[in-house]
Amino acid sequence: MKFGRSSIFIVLGCALFSCSDKDDSDVAKAVDYEAGVYQWLVKEQLPNGLLESTTGSNFVSLYDNSLAAIAFTAKGDYAKAEKIFDVFTFLLSSEFNQGTGGFYQFRDRMGSPLSGSGRWLGDNAWLLIALNNYKAKTGSGKYNNLALILENWIRQLQDIDGSVWGGYDPITGVKTGKVTENMIDAFNAVPGYDQFHKNLLDYFNNERWDSQNKSLICAPGSYYMYA
């Protein structure tokens, strides 16, 4: 059985949502499919804890690994989620705390960042979401330091108008891009509800809300206006 990158989304959906509105045969099929996809996900985890986005690709995504950690946590396979978190804990001093801060978006299977990879808000926010899920499920404070460092990095990306910068350009190293999707990620990743969240909601209301279509826009003038 072969699966691709999208299987991480599938197994996460199967793990988090029930099929209670389906008949017994549909439920059985869904359970069988979930089991197959989940076994693929388990086998994808490399000895160092990371998962390639597709089998044998030598391409590792921070976002995909965050989703995998959420799936492992949802299934109660905490040790597998911890192996992912341990990689990024190890990389704090050599990567996160260097330069602009933040973890790189893409790396190879050995953990080395790929050339041209940026340090983006959305990807780092999803790692924090995964850590928050793990703590909520296990009650463990093992990764509190990693979570706090990520949270503080996200918070410092907030601009004076309440928006949140999308991260740092890999060439210039300057803050760039303000994409609604990534800001929503940040809103959900940062724990609680404080001035960070209030300021961001104000920005959404003032700058990104399309009152006619009752929807947030991606960015003013964007080709993918509602993506």
How far apart (Å, rounded) are the C-alpha atoms in residues 180 and 187?
A: 10
Residue 5 lies in a domain: no
Q: Write phi, then psi, for 27 (nearest 5 degrees).
A: -65, -45
- Give the pLDDT score at 219: 80
Whole-Å CA distances, 106 to 128, 167, 170, 202 = 17, 14, 12, 32
Question: What average pLDDT does this structure show over 9-16?
Answer: 57
Q: What is the pTM of this model?
A: 0.88
- Segment 151-205, tens digit of pLDDT: 999 999 999 999 999 999 998 989 999 999 999 999 999 999 999 999 999 999 9
Confidence bin at 14 (pLDDT 50/70/90): low
Total domains in the chain come to 1
Residue 15 lies in a domain: no
What average pLDDT does the structure give for the chain? 91
Confidence bin at 1 (pLDDT 50/70/90): very low
Both structure tokens of 201: 């909601």
Residue 100 lies in a domain: yes
Residue 50 lies in a domain: yes
Residue 79 lies in a domain: yes
- CATH of residue 100's domain is 1.50.10.20
Of 81, 173, 159, give the one whose Cα is nearest residue 127.
81
b/e per residue 51-78 (b: at least 16 CB within 10 A) = bbbbeeeeebbbbbbbbbbbbbbbbebb
Q: Which domain holds residue 160?
A: 45-216
- Give the pLDDT score at 30: 74
Residue 23 lies in a domain: no
How far apart (Å, rounded) are the C-alpha atoms in residues 136 and 19?
A: 24
Place of tokens 């260097």: 98
Residue 227 lies in a domain: no
Residue 225 lies in a domain: no
